Amino acid sequence: MARILITSGPTRQYLDPVRYVTNASSGRMGAALATAALELGHEVVIVSGPVTVDYPAGATVIPVVTTDEMLQAAVETFKQCDGAIGAAAPCDYMPRQIQTQKISKTGKPLTIELVETADVVATLGQNKRGRDRGDQPLADDRSPRRQWVVGFALETEDQRFRAIVKLERKHCDLMVSNGPSAIDAADNEVELLDPDGNVIEAIAGDKEHVARRLLAQIQQRLISS
């Protein structure tokens, strides 16, 4: 049995007390992955942005709002986990300044400077145990096992190429490549990529089916190995 961190849903980056930048991530892929992991007998902790999806009762859910909150909760949770699946779509830009009062309309354009947020999956990948010790699990049973990280890449163009670049940059063990049609949809169509850039499996169907296939691959390649 493994203890698995799943990040899920969107995050929000507020401009003022009312308005924010976000995306339409629904948490459905995260919920389906959690269900599939529980079915295999694993323990699941979900760090989730604001969603209305129902997560499975067997999972522990830590709710967050911003990307920085997701990062903090994920890093803290990951310490006690064997691996992480980054199914969330954290907002990757945030306003440089947050207005404390609602911005009033003046009739004139409003210029907003956005800066990049920290990258949740990249931070987990950089800090995973055993990253620099090669691909073999540690021989000493008293040592914590090597941790693994599976990322998701959502791109509108050059999907596979960009997913491979992200896999490498974020130190992921596997990368799931999908497109914008995945967002807030019942179905998904993904390619699962290994660190050599090979397509291990192409999976299409409802998110429950996709999640079960992904977990079967993770089980075989990262948990049982």
Selected range binding a copy of itself among 13-21, 78-86, 140-148, 189-197, rule: CB under 8 A = 13-21
Whole-angstrom Cα distance, residue 39 to residue 215? 10
Nearest approach, Cβ of 124 to a copy of itself (angstroms)?
17
Region near a copy of itself per CB under 8 A, out of 19-27, 33-41, 191-199, 203-211: 19-27
Of 96, 132, 140, 224, the one binding a copy of itself by CB under 8 A? 96
Can residue 17 be called a binding residue for a copy of itself (CB under 8 A)?
A: yes
224 phi, psi to nearest 5 deg: -80, -15
Q: Does 200 bind a copy of itself (CB under 8 A)?
A: no
Task: State the binding string over 100-119 for a copy of itself (x if CB under 8 A, else -).
Answer: -xx-xx-x-xxxxxxxx---
Which residues make Cβ contacts (< 8 Å) with residue 164, sequence separation at least 6?
A: 175, 193, 197
Place of tokens 């890093």: 75
- CA-wise closest residue to 50 among 60, 61, 35, 58: 61
- Tell me which stretch binds a copy of itself (CB under 8 A): 16-24, 69-77, 124-132, 185-193: 16-24
Residues 6+ apart with CB under 8 A from 12: 20, 21, 22, 49, 50, 65, 66, 91
127 is a catalytic site residue:
no
Cα separation, 225 vs 103, in Å, equals 54
Does the footprint of a copy of itself cover residue 54 (CB under 8 A)?
no
Q: For a copy of itself, which residue of 1, 41, 52, 139 counts as binding (CB under 8 A)?
A: 52
Give, as ranges, the residues between 164 and 193 that touch a copy of itself (CB under 8 A). 180, 183
Radius of gyration of the chain (CA): 18
Nearest to a copy of itself of 12, 42 (CB atom): 12
Non-local (6+) Cβ contacts of 190 within 8 A are: 176, 177, 178, 182, 202, 203, 204, 210, 214
Residue 32 contacts residue 176 (beta carbons within 8 Å): no
Q: For the chain, what's the residue count?
A: 225
Binding segment toward a copy of itself, per CB under 8 A, in 31-39, 85-93, 137-145, 197-205 = 85-93
Residues that bind a copy of itself (CB under 8 A): 12, 15-24, 50, 52, 89, 91-93, 96, 101-102, 104-105, 107, 109-116, 154-157, 162, 180, 183
